[in-house]
């Protein structure tokens, strides 16, 4: 959960420079951190996928959006999958000491 939150909640428009600057190649369907260089064409930062408005703004400004409708659709589907992903969570009651002890 920490990795997902650290990646999706990045405030930068073009996140790069550390391990949590994760990008997705719409063409080859692979994830990769963008450490120092500028993104290549067809790469989308994961932090725009967490919100539909942010994703639509990114698509509108993407130079290849008109010619690559297939990749636009892939970006929209990926964003939807991330936003609608159900992550199981459990509430564990008690103190840390109680949780580690066996009865």
Residue 58 lies in a domain: yes
Residue 102 lies in a domain: no
Residue 33 lies in a domain: yes
> Please, are residues 26 and 33 in contact by the beta-carbon 8 Å criterion?
no
Residue 97 lies in a domain: no
Query: What number of other Cβ atoms are within 10 A of residue 58's Cβ?
Result: 18
In the prediction, which pLDDT does 12 show?
A: 83
Q: What does the pLDDT average to over 14-30?
A: 88
For residue 18, give the nearest of 5, 33, 6, 31 by alpha carbon. 33
Q: Band of the pLDDT at 45, cuts 50, 70, 90?
A: very high
Residue 74 lies in a domain: yes
Q: What does the pLDDT average to over 50-65?
A: 92
Q: What is the pTM of this model?
A: 0.76
The single-letter DSSP state of residue 88 is -
Residue ranges making up the domain that contains 59: 2-85
The total domain count for the chain is 1
Is the pLDDT confidence value at 71 over 90?
A: yes
Is the pLDDT confidence value at 96 over 70?
A: no
In the prediction, which pLDDT does 102 show?
A: 57
Residue 12 lies in a domain: yes
Q: What does the pLDDT average to over 17-40?
A: 86
Mean pLDDT of the residues in the chain: 86
Residue 20 lies in a domain: yes
């Amino acid at each position: 959960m920490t990795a997902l939150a650290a990646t999706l909640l990045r405030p930068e428009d073009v996140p790069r420079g550390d391990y949590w600057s994760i990008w997705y190649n719409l063409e080859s369907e692979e994830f990769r951190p963008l450490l120092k260089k500028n993104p290549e064409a067809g790469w989308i930062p994961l932090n725009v996928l967490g919100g539909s408005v942010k994703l639509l703004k990114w698509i509108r400004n993407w130079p290849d959006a008109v010619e690559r409708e297939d990749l636009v659709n892939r970006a929209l589907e990926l964003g939807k999958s991330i936003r609608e992903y159900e992550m199981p969570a459990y509430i564990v009651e008690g103190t840390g000491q109680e949780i580690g002890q066996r009865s």
